Structure formats: structure tokens, C-alpha cells
Structure 1
Amino acid sequence: MWSGPRNLSTAMMYAFGNRADCAIWDEPFYAPYLAATGADHPMKDAIIAEHETNPAEVGRRCLDTISAQKPHFYMKHMPHHMIAGFPLDWASQCVNVHLIRHPARVIASYGAKMDHMTLEDIGYPQQAALYDRLGGVVIDSADIRADPEGMLRKLCAAIDLAFDPAMLHWPAGPRAEDGIWASHWYNAVHQSTGFAGAEGDLPELAGEAAQLCRDAMPFYEKLAAVRLSSV
């Protein structure tokens, strides 16, 4: 599952993680990305200390034996973590799904946690490039929130996986599989037991944030045009 930040990605990981037949992995390339770029992210030093930072080793583990010997392995990946030189050949052996969200919502949410962001920080160009390279299924987070069961059924059908009603709800609180960064980023999802309801109007952006949204829109619209239909 490829997804930019603030994009329902953790809730989707919890949904798949609540299946008895599915192991999950939270942002495997986050620590390698931070170690390689020196990007100033919250908890950077702790993330690097706690998680594997060798991108080649992470890539190997993406195709290694599935943890807990479960039939399926759900990996939550961020497109902007896959910088030049990081291995990507493993992804051609996976089912690739691209989770998207309108840039205005991402920018408003990400801006509440980060003082500064660029187009590359929110991953829209990288995600469009990954889709061009890997193909796969596209699904919009707004469609999922508007109809969780209907859209998860469609997604499961598209990737040849039986739908499991357990995906619709999960226990409140953190999961053992959370990355160490969960304490900064996952407050809302830790309080949840299922998908939040349909979103309201788009947030109003001004200045640099509005320009950033305009820059991201062509990449979003490209993927939205081929997303799973909500009707």
C-alpha cells in the first residue's frame, strides 16, 4: 500500500492488521530515508536508533518470510521514502495499491504536525511515478470514509482477496507493529475503533499552502481518474 502522509494510511493498516490472515509492517523505509537524507522529522534520532536503516536489508525483508507465518503481508509504504538508490525491484513481486487523498486535506493535516513542507514531502510526484512503474489499484481515502464496507469489498475483489468484516473495526489503542513514531503521529487513530465518517468541505488554504495544493493537483487528478469507482 503506497500512500502519502496524513492519508488514512494508518487506519488502513489497522484494518488489514485486524484480519486473522494478515501480518502488517509500518513504513519499512522510514528509518533508511531519515538516515540517508538527514530530513528534520519529529523523533528522527529515535527512529534511526530503533529501526533498520539499511535500505538493501529492508528491501530483502519485504520479500522474506511473512511474520507470524500468516498467508498475507500488508506493507504500509510512503512514496517519498523511496529516494534514488533505494531498492524497488521487490515491489514488482507484490500487489501494489495506491491510496490517495485530495491535496488540500493532506496539506491542512500535515501542516498541523510539521512547520514546513514541500511537494516532495507529501509525495504526490513520487506516487504518480510509482504508479507509472508498478501499476496496480488506486483507491481514494474519501471514498473509503464515505462507504468503508463498500469500498473495502471493492478493493478486496480487485486484489483477489476475500473480504473480511473484521477490517471495519479494530481495538482502540496502539498496535505492537506501530513504528516508534506512532506517539507523535497516530493520536487520532489510537482513539478510533473504525473508519471516521465522510469528510466535509475541503479546507481553505492560503499563500504557500494554496500554491502547494495547486502544484500537487495534477498528480492527484492523474491517479484519481483511474481510482476504484465508489458507485
Structure 2
Amino acid sequence: MSIGEVLAQLRPEFPDTTISKLRFLEAEGLVEPRRTPSGYRKYSWDDVARLRFVLTAQRDQYLPLRVIREQLAQRDEPASRARPTLVAVSPSGEVPSRPVAEPVDSRLSRADLLGRSGLEPAVLAEVERLGLVVAVAPGWYDADGLAVAVAVAGLLRHGLEVRHLRAVRAAADREVGLFAQLVAPLARQSDPAARARAAETARELIGLSQQLHAALVRAGLRETLGR
């Protein structure tokens, strides 16, 4: 990708980003795009991931570039190459708690899903009936199914009932339809780069949707909480 295409990728999530900022981060050694014989920058998807990590660490955790550079250096060490994601930590070394991601292609049996989520068989059957958890094959589930089951179990522990989650399923379906219209034109292309952009766009849309949902719920509860 050219520097302009990278800027277009980052702007939706980081609207204050400029070409000058990208050049500055390159000058600071945080990203090293390759150069064409004529001197133009060409960025890979890994370069974009590094930039997104740097910008997120600056925006959300106010980390200095020195600390961010150290974290990227640790990530680039051979022993660290198997790590699936980058996580910004504070200068003291604290890491925000977050669930461990399940491999996308993992498969779990029904018994595994019940055991790891804490759902009762009858509750799982009701959750499946509402389309919240969908088996990828009879009796087998993927990482997304597990994530949904764990989230549902947590909500039920707080007193919600499965029937209350119908609206969540309906809202998710509406978002899927809306986002599919945006990424489908790229996903249909035979060009691998276009399909990669489609996947990256989908990830960005999902992240932005999560941010929007959390902000709206947080704002809506502010009066109830007296804050």
C-alpha cells in the first residue's frame, strides 16, 4: 500500500492521523516500509498493524514512544513471533486483563462448550433456538460460538434471561447486513490484496461498532448511576 492508502485505512479509527504523522513514526523507527526503486514507500499489512498498535498505545494509554518502541522490539524477537496480537502495557509493565483468544479454526464438542462456558444443557438449547449460538456441524462449535456462550453465561449470572437477548441477536443481524454491503465488493474480487482489505475493513467495522455500542450504553446508564 502507498502512504495514502495506509492513511485511508487508519483514519476511520484515528481521525487525527496525517501523512506527516506517519512519516514521523517512520523516522522514529517504529515502522519501516520498503522503498521502490523510485523512492516511494510501500507498506505491508504488518506495517499497518504496527502503526495501529502505536496509535492505540498513544491514544488510549498515553505511552511514550520509547516504551512503545521497546514493546515492538520484544514482539519482533524470535521467541515472540507466535504471539497472535499486540497488547499495549503501561510503563510499569501492567497488562490490561482480557480474555485469551481462541484460534479461529478451533472446534469444540458440545460437552466442551458446556464445560468452558458454564451453561446448562437446557439453557444452551434455548440459546441455540434463538440463533445466538450456531453449531458449525452437528454437535460441534467454533471459537465464536464459545465466545457467545461465555458472554451469555455472564449476562445470565447478572439476572438477565435468554429471552432478553433476542434484541441483541436482531441488532447484530442488522449490523451484519449493513457491513456486508461495505465489504462484499472487495471480498468478491479475485485479487488477494482486495480480499485482505475486505478482511481488514471488517475488523475495523467490528471494532468501531463495539466502541459505539459501549459508549452508548455507558452514556445511557450515566443517569441511573448518578454520574
Instruction: Name the structure where helix makes up a greater proportion of residues.
Output: 2
**TM-score between the two structures when normalised by the length of structure 1:** 0.21
Rg larger for: 2
**TM-score between the two structures when normalised by the length of structure 2:** 0.21
Instruction: Name the structure where strand makes up a greater proportion of residues.
Output: 1
